[in-house]
Amino acid sequence: MNNRKNNFMRRLKIGVPLAPYTTFKIGGPARYYFEPKTFSDFKTSISWALRKNIPYFILGGGSNILVHDSGYKGLVINTKKLNKLNVKGTIISAECGVTIDRLVDLSLKYGLSGIEFAAGLPGTVGGALFMNARAYDSTFSNIVDKVFAFKAENTCVMDIVLKKDNLRFSYKQSIFQGKRFYIFKVNISLAAGSKKKIQSAIDKNRKKRKEMGQYVFPNAGCIFKNDYRAGIPTGKIIEELGLKGKRIDNAEVYEEHANFIINRGNARAEDVYGLIRFIENEVKKKKGIILKREINLIGSWEELEKKQEN
Ligand SMILES: Cc1cc2nc3c(=O)[nH]c(=O)nc-3n(C[C@H](O)[C@H](O)[C@H](O)COP(=O)(O)OP(=O)(O)OC[C@H]3O[C@@H](n4cnc5c(N)ncnc54)[C@H](O)[C@@H]3O)c2cc1C
């Protein structure tokens, strides 16, 4: 066994509870769990899972996922230690595990404008790019310049560099969804700006989220995507159906924002999932709209799915 693999095996953990690594605070354990610290660590972990034919999942800030109560029967690669930042002119280079708020604070320090829209957004650079996260008047696709990534093919992991034009961005979509491409580092292109204006925009956006009650109860942000053909945001559709406050055990449709489901304390993934299915059925039946999920479901959901259908 070579040194790199040896080091990986020593740091590989077994049976790690995932709930603390999610903003929902829900979900069972990962069979295998690893926190890469370097580019080569990250690559080794993916290669190991591919060679062993073990499913794997890249975890960022866990702010857009619902982990099954039985957990994840594979390898969870948590990117939290891939957190280096570097500034060169108007480009910030951020590893995938850098939190959005840290990135926003650094942009202020250097008087760089363009990422103020994301102030207060939970999660990491990797997750935001994967989801093409958006807020107020902008999206991640507007500020990304280049991505250093991995591509998995059969049992091989290759390094690739993707330029902005190859990232296939659209509403809450990027090339990383549905493909075996994994983000290591992102170059973000900003513009020199007035520190005073940047600070004021950041403060305003953080305050707005706080006032909307986004941080009061554990949640994972919007559960469903907006469908602009409907003419109104999905939250409003759910609200119009009178579903605010609808509860399954400790999972509840949030009174402050109907597209959020909150964990009122020890909610189970099964409760949240039941609520998701209930909302989908109501919206379909009463409005003729088929909602698209924004939340990523992690683990094995087939059994619950069957249970809901019966
Ligand atoms: C209170 C609250 C408010 C929110 N507001 C917004 C909002 O205004 N706008 C918005 O768009 N979203 C919002 N969200 C959702 C969420 O914060 C974003 O989608 C965020 O970008 C997800 O990042 P994350 O690091 O937490 O990703 P995770 O939840 O950890 O993962 C999400 C997906 O990204 C993948 N992923 C993560 N890192 C990598 C990587 N390095 N390489 C490949 N794939 C990776 C994961 O595998 C997973 O499929 C909100 C969530 C909360 C809790």
Q: How do the domains of the chain map onto residue ranges?
A: 3-81, 85-210, 214-309
Residue from 24, 59, 70 nearest 222 by CA: 24
> Nearest-CA neighbor of 140 among 128, 126, 149, 122?
128
- The whole-angstrom separation of Cα 88 and Cα 198 is 19
Q: Is the CB of 57 under 6 A from ligand 1?
A: yes
Residue 288 to residues 229, 281, 291, Cα–Cα distance (Å): 12, 10, 10
The whole-angstrom separation of Cα 134 and Cα 116 is 11
Going by C-alpha positions, the residue among 61, 209, 184, 92 that lies closest to residue 105 is 92
pLDDT in tens, 112-163: 999 999 999 999 999 999 999 999 989 999 999 999 999 999 889 999 999 9
304 lines ligand 1 (CB under 6 A): no
Q: 14 CA to middle of ligand 1, Å?
A: 24
Between the CA of 214 and the centroid of ligand 1 the distance, in Å, is 15
The CATH architecture of the domain made up of 3-81 is 2-Layer Sandwich (3.30)
Residue with the nearest Cα to atom 5 of ligand 1? 221
Q: Which atom of ligand 1 is nearest to the CA of 60?
A: 30
- Within the chain, what is the greatest distance between any pair of CA atoms? 61
- Residue 48 and residue 8 in contact, taking contact as beta carbons nearer than 8 Å: yes
**Ligand 1: centre distance to CA 123 (Å):** 5
Q: What percent of the chain has pLDDT over 90?
A: 91
Identify the architecture of domain 85-210 in CATH: 2-Layer Sandwich (3.30)
Degrees to nearest 5, angle at CA 26 with 24 and 31: 130
Q: Is 131 left (phi over 0), alpha (psi -120 to 50) or beta?
A: alpha
Q: How far does residue 184's CA lie from ligand 1's centre (Å)?
A: 15
| pLDDT for the residue numbered 305 | 79
CA of 199 to the centre of ligand 1 (A): 24
**Helix residue ranges per DSSP H, 89-187:** 100-109, 125-131
pLDDT band at 293 (very low <50, low <70, confident <90, very high): very high
For position 242, what pLDDT does the model report?
Answer: 97
Q: Collapse the DSSP code of 38 into the 3-class scheme (helix H, G, I; strand E, B; otherwise coil) and give the result.
A: coil
What is the phi/psi pair of residue 28, to 5°? -85, -165
Record the tokens describing residue 24, joined without a space.
């929902």
Query: Which CATH code, of 3.40.50.1110, 3.90.78.10, 1.10.3720.10, 3.40.630.30, is assigned to 214-309?
Result: 3.90.78.10
